Structure 1
Amino acid sequence: MSRLVESMTEELSDQFRVHSSIEHIQMRILEGLSKKHSFKRGEVKFEFEFGYESHTPVSGKRTWEVCDVTASTTMEEGKPFMHDVEVKVIGNTVCPHCMANNAGLTHIQRAFGKLRVVGEIDAIPTYGTMIDIIEQSFSSKTYSLLKLEDEVHVTKEMHDNPLLVEDVCRNILQHAKDKYSDRDLEMFAEARSLESIHKHDVIAQGRVLSNGDE
């Protein structure tokens, strides 16, 4: 245990060392640990909140949004480093089935979308592009700050684009496959709808591969 803590402390406390990504930090931690203690397989996992800038759709107000990120790196004897990154973003769903059978009236709910990618370091995308993929897969984006004109816009956009939770999951996978077609990645998607009129959540999951061929 002390060797792991020592490796992490040495890597994170070196203020003169610049890391290009969380994944590179994890690689250095594992490399440092391997010099102090031999092992066949090691893994470092970080769970953290990632802040990013956005703008409201009509008023153009700048907002800061937060999503959850889980990133892990595995070092295994005789194999390249493998990275596993998952981003979780808040959005919404609007039920098209109810809308079609209820004179345009329907139920809406907050939803969570997840995109997880697994691959080698050169294939791992930025968190920003993963966030964009998830956000565009919902009925509409959501925002921490909304003026009245923004609320009107978001509400209309939601009702113009009603989606079931399985639609959101399929959208995430399709957008990810299109965006990362030039990378070797295993990609997983999950959408969870926090149902407003049911006493349960609804979950959809899927998986797709890209092999680096355009």
Structure 2
Amino acid sequence: MNHVLSDVQAQPDTRGIALGEVGIDGLRYPLLVADGQGGKREVAATVTMSVSLGADIKGAHLSRFIEVLQEWRDQLGPDSALSMVDDLRGRMGSTNARVKIAFPYFLERQAPVTGIPSFMDYACELDISADDAKAVLLQQVCVPVTSVCPCSKAISDRGAHNQRGWVTIGVRARDPRGDLWFDDLITVAELSGSSPVYSLLKRPDERHVTMAAYDNPVFVEDMARNVVTVLRRDNRIAEYRVRVLNDESIHNHAAYAEFPWTTTDEIGGRPDAG
């Protein structure tokens, strides 16, 4: 005897209240993410998925979120991420859908003198949303750097205080299905500080990094402006924001500089925008 299970979520709701987002939060899931070299990298992601819910519908079918993620998990890049959100909208019968995916992204880096390879991890996030009118894909990276204080160097007989800095870049690509990806943003962030950070350094490498950073002192303001200078000239980028934070080594507070969301066509955007 077949027993028909009731579909409670599909039952009507009479309170007349539409909900902007209903979904799942904090899901840990293995994904294959495209890299900037045409390959794929497996990441352990934390995922949030949601859809809008009409005023007349009682609930969302949460299992369908996992079904969609499972079907797209091995092909996540700019193009497929947008297609995944469209698939989610269609399968849930919703006007709006949103997926946020956060994960550590590993890139191989060579020590500056010995050339010994090791991997660095970078905190990355995709935020994809779509409705009937448009689709938006936001990318964010948080990149560690080293910074040497220009003031400390200028006033000291020897040495200068230095610290770990964190450069966070958020962008919206002009073509969300284009080739702008995390690797590009990570490079921009690393070049903004006094020196990149490495997982593995031998003594010749450490000497080089220490002296190179000393020769290139920067405030958080300098790092933020360095990043903005590059982003505003990148024709692939439609909108961007920058935040730089230094864990000050001689203070019990952090220092930061921030550039808010700005389109590259606004004043303060591309210098050639007229």
> Same fold by TM (over 0.5)?
yes
Deviations 1:76-115 (A, max 9, x none): 1122x21110011111111111221122432110111111
**Matched-pair contact (CA < 8 Å) for 1:89–1:135:** yes
**Matched-pair contact (CA < 8 Å) for 1:93–1:108:** yes
Matched, 1:114 2:168: yes
Matched, 1:3 2:103: no
Matched, 1:151 2:206: yes
TM-score, normalised with respect to structure 1: 0.88
Query: Match for 1:93 among 144, 147, 169?
Result: 147
Deviations 1:13-70 (A, max 9, x none): xx6xxx3x43333323222222222222211010001011111111111121110101
Q: Please report how far the alpha carbon of residue 145 of structure 1 lies from its aligned counterpart in structure 2 after TM superposition.
A: 0.4
Q: Which amino acid aligns with 1:84?
A: L
Q: Secondary structure at the match of 2:189?
A: helix
Aligned to 1:84: 138
**Matched-pair contact (CA < 8 Å) for 1:23–1:71:** no
Q: Distance in 2 between matches of 1:133 and 1:189?
A: 11
Q: Which moved more, 1:199-208 or 1:85-94?
A: 199-208
Q: Please report how far the alpha carbon of residue 7 of structure 1 lies from its aligned counterpart in structure 2 after TM superposition.
A: 1.6
Q: Distance in 1 between matches of 2:119 and 2:249?
A: 26
Deviations 1:138-176 (A, max 9, x none): 001111000100101000011101111111111111122
Question: Cα RMSD between the aligned structures?
Answer: 1.9
Q: Secondary structure at the match of 1:121?
A: coil
Equivalent residue pairs, number: 205
**Matched-pair contact (CA < 8 Å) for 2:68–2:84:** yes
Q: Distance in 1 between matches of 2:91 and 2:105?
A: 31
Which runs of 5 or more structure 2 residues have no equivalent in the other structure?
1-61
TM-score, normalised with respect to structure 2: 0.70
Q: Distance in 2 between matches of 1:210 and 1:104?
A: 42
Task: Report the CA distance shift for 1:166/1:123 in structure 2 as closer, same or farther (over 3 A).
Answer: farther
Task: Report the CA distance shift for 1:155/1:88 in structure 2 as closer, same or farther (over 3 A).
Answer: same
Which runs of 5 or more structure 1 residues have no equivalent in the other structure?
none
Q: Which moved more, 1:195-204 or 1:94-103?
A: 94-103
Describe how 1:161-176 pairs up with structure 2 within 5 A.
161-176=216-231
Aligned to 1:44: 99
Indicate the structure (1 or 2) with the bigger Cα radius of gyration. 2
Q: Please report how far the alpha carbon of residue 184 of structure 1 lies from its aligned counterpart in structure 2 after TM superposition.
A: 4.4
Q: Which has the higher contact order (CA 8 A, sep 6+)?
A: 1
